[in-house]
Structure 1
Amino acid sequence: MYLSDSQYENIKENVVDMYEECGLTTYPIDCMEIARRLNYRLVPYSKLKGKKLVTAMNISMDGFHMLVEDKVSGMFMWVIFYNDENSHERQRWTILHEIGHIRLDHTQESELAEAEANFFAKYSIAPPPLIHYAQCDDYVDVAVKFDLSIQAAYYSMCYYHKWLQYGPADYEPVEIRMLELFGLAA
């Protein structure tokens, strides 16, 4: 499913807002630190036992999120459950995908929500301006410099090439904001 240009732009803005809120200044992007700074609790599937683990696996083999009431404070907080038997790179993608669902205010499962969360994860984990600055020669470079699986790095490199070919000649304001956060703006 393709998103509209305005949907893509809104997600890019949301990602850079998140970088700012979390004080991110380096890559590879640390999704666990992002979750911590946003006060989201991370729960690996290995911490779940019995019926809870079966339920989690039935919901998703990768991960999911839910709003949970803290028994001590009575406050509600976001909890992201993720399958820690998946590769490290897959876990990172899943956590950013779930953060995307939360930040984009998704309240129901839908093809649109999945497309938006996938783009959120893709853009937050290896945005084209950072790939450009990192001078990645190929997708293996992207995998190493951004701590991605080979498959995710391949897709990130394809997106980077489209960004180079079809994007504007100059950086967009949101991209400049991102580069400034990382100390890379000229």
Structure 2
Amino acid sequence: MIQLLVGLGNPGPEHALDRHNAGFWFIDQVATAVGVSLKPERGFFGDVARLRLHGHELWLLQPSTYMNRSGQSVGAFARFYKIAPENILVAHDELDLPPGQAKLKLGGGHAGHNGLRDLIAHLGTPNFWRLRLGIGHPGDRAAVVGFVLGKPPQSELKLIEQAMEQSQAVLPQLLKGEFEAAMMQLHRGNRAGGQAAKAGA
């Protein structure tokens, strides 16, 4: 079951609205929903909150390192609390999914995502859960850096927020270790959301 929920992003107000901070946005949404605040923990190089959700204990973590050093924070936290990689869910921005879609996945490569790359290096395995929050793709590989470090238009932000709400709705299953049920519910919600977006276009 999931014991640690990590959001990836870059610290500082200058990055708060970047697409690359979608993982941070998700953690903020969860924290707001349950009424907790994240507090800086120097030993873990990040901001941390502890809560009970649906009868289970869950930690929230936002690394305060920059994206490409996210593993320093997550690795330190996981080692201290003896949390296995397969009990960690990492929320991150995903170029290969459109805004409004979110998918769960266990393991895999980093696909060029520097936060995932560093996590794999520090945890010593790619076998942690990922919540892939779609932000879309600029269409040109050379434009990716500026795109992820840019602010999405309001229409896309609304879709990303809806996908995060759907993701938050499957947390009860994830906390119980019911991963197949969580994936089915989330991916079914993606299809419904995509159809609604097309109807409104």
TM-score (norm 1): 0.32
Q: Which has the higher strand share?
A: 2
Q: Which has the higher helix share?
A: 1
